[in-house]
Amino acid sequence: MSKHLYRDMELLKKALLTLGSMVEDAINKAVIALVDRRSELTHEVITGDDLVDDKEVEIEEQGLKILALHQPVAADLRFIVGVLKVNNDLERMGDLAVNIAERADYLAKKDVIGVELDFPRMAGAVQKMVRLSLDALVNKDTDEAKKVLLMDDEVDALNRDMFVILQNVMRNDSQTIKRAVQLLSVSRHLERIADLATNIAEDVVFMVDGDTIRHKTEHYLE
Amino acid sequence: MSKHLYRDMELLKKALLTLGSMVEDAINKAVIALVDRRSELTHEVITGDDLVDDKEVEIEEQGLKILALHQPVAADLRFIVGVLKVNNDLERMGDLAVNIAERADYLAKKDVIGVELDFPRMAGAVQKMVRLSLDALVNKDTDEAKKVLLMDDEVDALNRDMFVILQNVMRNDSQTIKRAVQLLSVSRHLERIADLATNIAEDVVFMVDGDTIRHKTEHYLE
């Protein structure tokens, strides 16, 4: 690899990690806003999303420039195309954090529905998946990536639990329906962020092994 | 553009359109299964998704091969990276169709909730967006792409209507809650497919104008 390609790829990685931190921060704030009923935090997430969007555009330009200038092949080519896809996934996670924040803002202005919902645990697992998937990417570490794939089942189960609990809440008190539907959305959005982290982890394995395990995850984990 | 690059790009386009048709077909079947309560159709969608997944992997390989072999620059480079992103979006639409089919299967085995829900209209708009976004891509037609961006608002509005109707249904009869939650999911999944078509349309404009309108859509439509 030429010195210039190496340098540009390091800069690209750094930019992607910056975007990753911004998105992790947004998810974190959105969930704290939800759990602690803090409207002012939701606004930070919503306005901060413009910066996430700008960063995504910047990284895409940076990646395209590297492809055009250095015309990398093999592993380097796979890595840069992988970064462009992950870039996209991170931006979508940012949108989901905004969506959670909007629902947190709505809920903070209403009474609590009075049932224990373990969003901190679910969000903790989701954030860990995001972090691990990015670590796996920059270190080209398939072991880290596999951890993410395993954690996805845990988050799916937590999402299903939320559905059961919230449907019961609605059944017992129809006054809670609107709020419960908002909470169902939050749960689903967290689960979608976990899915996106899973996509990233799958892309890492694809990139490193040069072979796709996408759509073959179960077999891979046997 | 070299003759070989031209030929390979035409093949790539053709493969992407094939995937697009497969996904459109899956969405179509999933919604018919839902509306006409036909479980056997849901199974076609669910088993057919393996073919969608295989096609996505094949297109990604094809795109990477073109990048490595021909090292295209400028518009050609943007186009191929665009195809790789759209490829991803189509595969996700396929997953969403499966998810709709699973819910249709569940609902076909239960009583109807007895309220008029215009899923055919919503699905019609969504399918039109998918079709238009792919046409826009292969013809590099930003006018078609802009139509998709405008239609997204219509689908968002239909999704919001569904939410209002279904929340009322749940409020009036708590026996409907589980089915109504499934129907909310279907509505949301259709809206996500529309969002993915919108992403594709934005990518087309980005590709053609060499300038991103992503995150600036409203300004663009002024």
Alpha helices (H) in B39-73, listed in sequence order: 39-70
Residues A10-32, buried b or exposed e (16+ Cβ, 10 A)?
A: eebbebbeebbebbbbbbbbbbb
Q: What are A8-56's pLDDT values in tens digits?
A: 999 999 999 999 999 999 999 999 999 999 999 999 999 999 999 999 9
CB A190 within 8 A of CB A160: no
Q: Which region, left, alpha or beta, applies to residue A111 given φ > 0 means left and ψ of -120 to 50 means alpha? A: beta
**Contact call for B53 and A214, based on CB within 8 A:** yes
Candidates A57, A186, A188, partner chain B, best to mutate (most B CBs within 10 A): A57
pLDDT band of residue A205 (cuts 50, 70, 90) is confident
The pLDDT score that the predictor gives to residue A213 is: 55
Higher pLDDT, A222 or B168: B168
Neighbours of A210 (CB within 10 A): 11
The reported pLDDT for the residue numbered B221 is 45
Q: What share of chain A is helix, strand, coil (3-state, %, to 5)?
A: 85, 0, 15
Residue range of the domain that includes B152? 3-221
**What's the sign of the alpha-carbon dihedral B110, B111, B117, B122?**
positive
A220: amino acid identity, one letter: Y
Is A51 near chain B, with CB under 8 Å? Answer: no
- Say yes or no for a CB contact (<8 Å) between B77 and A64: yes
Cβ contacts below 8 Å, chain A against chain B, sum to: 74
Token code pair at residue B159: 């999704």
Residue A35 belongs to domain with CATH number = 1.20.58.220
pLDDT confidence of residue B114: 86
Identify the pLDDT of residue A146: 94
Q: Kindly report the average pLDDT of chain A as a whole number.
A: 92
* pLDDT tens profile A71-127: 998 889 999 999 999 999 999 999 999 999 999 999 999 999 989 899 999 999 999
Number of domains chain B contains: 1
Residues of B numbered 18-37 whose beta carbons fall under 8 angstroms of chain A's beta carbons: which are they?
none
pTM of the model: 0.89
Cα distance from B211 to chain A (closest Cα, Å)? 10
pLDDT of residue A221: 44
Model confidence band, residue A220 (pLDDT cutoffs 50, 70, 90): very low
Contacts of A64 in chain B (CB under 8 A): 77-78, 81
Model confidence pLDDT, tens digit, residues A116-133: 899 999 999 999 999 999
With CA atoms as reference, the chain B residue closest to A165 would be: B178
CB A198 within 8 A of CB A152: yes
Determine the pLDDT at residue A63.
96
Binary contact (A181, B178; C-beta < 8 A): no
Residue A1 has pLDDT above 90, yes or no: no
pLDDT at A20 (0 to 100): 96
CA distance A200 to A218: 16
CA distance B154 to B221: 15
pLDDT at position A169 over 80: yes
Range A177-192 average pLDDT: 96
Q: Which residues of chain B have pLDDT under 70?
A: 210-222
User: Average pLDDT over chain B, rounded to whole?
Assistant: 92
Which ipTM value was assigned to this complex?
0.84
B170 close to A174: Cβ distance less than 8 angstroms: yes
**Number of Cβ atoms within 10 Å of the Cβ of A74:** 10
Residue in A63, A71, A167 nearest the CB of B181? A167
